[in-house]
Structure 1
C-alpha cells in the first residue's frame, strides 16, 4: 500500500473532482476479477463477511441481475480496494484516501443508496465525498463496535430459541419489520412489501432465521444470521419484543444464536451501535469482544 499512498497524498490536497490519481483506475468488476476480489476480502474475513458471503452465493464478482455491482480500485493493474454498490455501499479493504474516485463512480451510476456501512474510516470518507456530490445523510452512526466470539458462549443458551419456520412467516415478518423500523426510523415496506418479504422468507428457508414464539404465538425474540461464510457468520436483526424487555433475557437468547451460528462457522460476529450500552454489555457477557469499529451512514 505504500506505493499507492505516495501517489494519493498529493492528489488529495489539490483535487476535489473525484478524479483518480495517476496509475489508479476505478471500474466495475467482472467475472474475471472474482479471485482477486475474494483474495482482497480475505485480508479481513470478519470485516468483509458481507462481500465474502455474496461471493459464496453468487460465485462471481460480476454485476447481479438486480443491478448491484462491485467497483474495484486498481493500482497499476492490481486490485487494492473495492466497494459494493447496490441498495447499500459497502467498502472492501478501501483506503480512505481513495474514497473520492469511488464516490464519484458510485454517484455517476445515478442511483439512490439507502446506506453505507462497514469499517468506520472508509465509510466516513465515502460519506464526506458523497455529501459534496449531493447525497445528504439523515443520520451518521460514527462508532459501532465490531465484536467477535471464536468459541462457545459464556452463558447458558435459552433452549426456547429455534429455527424460524415458513409456517410462522406471518408472525416473523412483522417482528422483522418492527426491528427494522426501530433501527432506521422508517418502515421496510415503504414502496411495497415484496422485496423485504422475500428477504425474510429467504433467511427462513436458508435456516438463518432464529426465533422464539411463546405459547400465545408472540415473537419474544428473533435474530438472523445475515451474512454467512465457512469462516464467519454475522448476526443481524436482533430484536426483543418490548413486552419482554428488561427481564435479563437477551444474553441467553444471544448465547443460543451463537450456538446455532457455530454449527456453520467457527467465528461469530456482529456490530452494535456505540450508544447502545445495554446491548454491548449483554454481548460482552455472552463472550463477544471488540475487534474493530464499523460506521453506518443512513441516506
Structure 2
C-alpha cells in the first residue's frame, strides 16, 4: 500500500518506520525542514509538501497536534484516499473532518508514547502490543475502510480497539489526560524543595514520568478534550478531598486511625492488582458494527482481520463463551 504520513514527530515518525518495516511504500512530510532532513538522512522518502506526499497515495495518516490539523486538512482538498489520524482526542477531530468535507475518514489513536518527542525519539516497534483505538461511528464510518486500517495496524502488532469518538474521549481523560495533569502538579513540588527532590524514589519517578512531556503538548492534548478532562478532574479532586477529610490533618491523634482510609484506598489497590486483565482465548467474530463496538466496550480488541471475520480477544472475566 502507498501511504503518506504527515508529521514526523514521535508518533508520526514511528508510524513511518513501522509501515516501512512492514513493506509498505511510505512517503513522509513534516513542516519543519530539519525534521525532513533527519528523516531523509534515516533513509526515508520525504516530500516538500503534504499535497506532494499524498499524491497517488491510498492512505494519508495525519500525525500532528490538534491545533495544526485545520491547515493540513485544507491541503487535502480533492483527495479521494482514506484519511486517518493519531490525535489523542477524537470528537473534535471528527467534527473538523466533517466541517471540511473529508469523505473517507476513520479516526485513530495509538496508546503508545514516551515523555520525549521528535523524530529522533521515534522507533519502528513503538506500536507492538499497544492498544490502537479506531473510531467506529454508527451509521457513518465505512466498515470496509475501518477494516482496512484494522488489518494494517494489527499487521504492525497493535491491538485494535473499536470505539466511538465520544467513548474514546471519556476513557482517555481517565487514563491519559488527567494523569498528565496530576504528574505535572506532583513534579512541580520539587522545584523549591531540594530535600524532597533528593528523597524522590520509585513512587515519585513512576507517578511523574509523563510530567517531562513538553508542556505545550500536554496543554494541546488536555485542552482539546476539555469537557471530559474537566469532569474527570473534578471527580478525582472530590475523591482526594474525601481522603483529606479522613486524614483529619488538624488532629494528630487521628493520623494513627487508619480505618477510615482503607475503604477509600482499597478500590484502587484492587483495580491496579487486576490490571492489565488476563485475555481469554482467541475467538472469530463476524464483521458487524454493533458487535465490534460491544467488543470495545467490554475491554476487548481485534488481533487480526480475515476475509470474512475478525479474530478477537476479550478480558477473561468479561468473555462469554458460546
TM-score by length of 1: 0.31
Q: Which has the higher contact order (CA 8 A, sep 6+)?
A: 1
Structure (1/2) with the larger helix percentage: 2
Structure (1/2) with the larger strand percentage: 1
Structure number with bigger Rg: 2
